A = this chain, B = another copy of it.
Amino acid sequence: MAKSAIGIDLGGTNLKGVILNPDGSSRHLTRVPTEAEKGGQKVLENILLLIRKLLEKEGTSDTINGVGIGSPGFIGSDGVVIGGAENLPGWKGMQVFAPIKERFGLNATAGNDVTVAALAESRFGAGRGVDNVVCLALGTGIGGGIVINGNLYTGSYGMAGEVGHIVVQTDGIPCKCGQKGCAEQYASATGIANMARNLCKQTDQDTPFVQFIRNNPEMVSSKDVYDHVELGDPVAIEVHQQSMAMLARLCGILCNAFAPDRIILGGGVLEAGHIIIEEVNKTIGEHCWEAISERCTIVRAELGEHAGVLGSAQLVFEDKITQE
């Protein structure tokens, strides 16, 4: 019988684990706290704890092919954390694969969290049935995952898809990366909240949303914006439209570069749902070669918070990791 794979999704608050069958069905979804604040060694111990819990539920490790880990930043093919995970102090430099092999006799592989989510959407979610897909995760920043000719594309060093740092406004808002006008300054959760604060400072209108922001200037989130969009607040709608115009520019650039069959939008910001998808679909034709946008659909991610853990497990099958 074909073996299954363990997937681990390394989040800032929780570690999520699951066992995935080759046919896409899964079992034993399990969570343990990440305890990121206690340092890299503790995070690794919690990963090992989660694997042990999954194997206990499974009753054996004989049915398991390997372990896939989806993580912020990059883990090298040798199992050492290379970096790019600012929310996990002491995580950089950790050797992740060796202790999994030693403790459980299982080989491990790893991918960036957005990349593995793109793999899951391509196989089991909004990218099913097409070959070329770009996934955007609109969260604190904007991450990108790319599937080309049916396979994950990460570039020679795992760095392809830095789409949040594509410039969409010349001489726009300064970004921590050193450029100005990066897409994530406008259309990430953080970017939308900042746009809301700025617009409320400038506007003469006195709507419920403007009052809300003035009372909660530091606490405002993209969810607050979309809650007020739902209520028809004109200033919130203007923030939404300005942000989505920038997202449409980014999607247009990605169309001209990749000519994908679908662009899949996911991440926390998309909890506002269909309104974002509609807005971007409406305007993307203005931002790229129209013959391309006519053949590309903007769709919402389907797997929600499970994309990461399913994609991490799927990585085991696609990297063709096998136990020695």
List the interface of chain A (C-beta within 8 A of B).
Answer: 130-132, 144, 148-149, 151, 153-157, 159-163, 165-172, 177-179, 181, 249, 252-261, 286-292, 295
B-side contacts of A286, CB under 8 Å: 178-179
From B168, B177, B260, B289, A162 is in contact (CB under 8 Å) with B289
Tell whether A179 pairs with B259 under 8 Å between CB atoms, given A131-B156, A151-B149. no
B179 x A292 contact (CB < 8 A):
no
Q: Which residue of B lies closest to A155 (CB)?
A: B259
B253 x A162 contact (CB < 8 A):
no
Q: Which 10 A-B pairs have the closest CB atoms?
A: A155-B259, A160-B259, A170-B170, A159-B259, A162-B256, A162-B289, A257-B257, A166-B256, A159-B292, A156-B261
From B153, B168, B252, A148 is in contact (CB under 8 Å) with B153
- Specify the main secondary structure of chain A where it touches its partner: loop
- Distance between Cα atoms of A249 and B166 in the complex (Å): 10
- Distance between Cα atoms of A253 and B144 in the complex (Å): 13
Chain B nearest CB from A261 CB (Å) reads 5
Given contacts A144-B257, A148-B153, A160-B257, 16 further A-B contacts (CB under 8 A): A132-B160, A155-B260, A155-B292, A156-B295, A157-B259, A159-B259, A159-B292, A162-B292, A165-B288, A165-B289, A167-B253, A167-B287, A170-B172, A177-B289, A253-B253, A257-B257
- Distance between Cα atoms of A179 and B290 in the complex (Å): 10
A132 x B148 contact (CB < 8 A):
no
B256 x A163 contact (CB < 8 A):
yes
B261 x A258 contact (CB < 8 A):
no
Chain B nearest CB from A135 CB (Å) reads 13
- Distance between Cα atoms of A160 and B254 in the complex (Å): 9
- Distance between Cα atoms of A171 and B181 in the complex (Å): 14
A287 x B179 contact (CB < 8 A):
yes
What are 18 of the A-B contact pairs (CB < 8 Å)?
A132-B160, A148-B153, A149-B153, A157-B292, A157-B295, A159-B289, A160-B257, A162-B255, A162-B256, A165-B256, A165-B288, A166-B256, A167-B249, A170-B172, A178-B286, A179-B287, A253-B253, A257-B258
Q: Which residue of B lies closest to A258 (CB)?
A: B160
Tell whether A253 pairs with B291 under 8 Å between CB atoms, given A131-B156, A156-B259, A160-B259. no
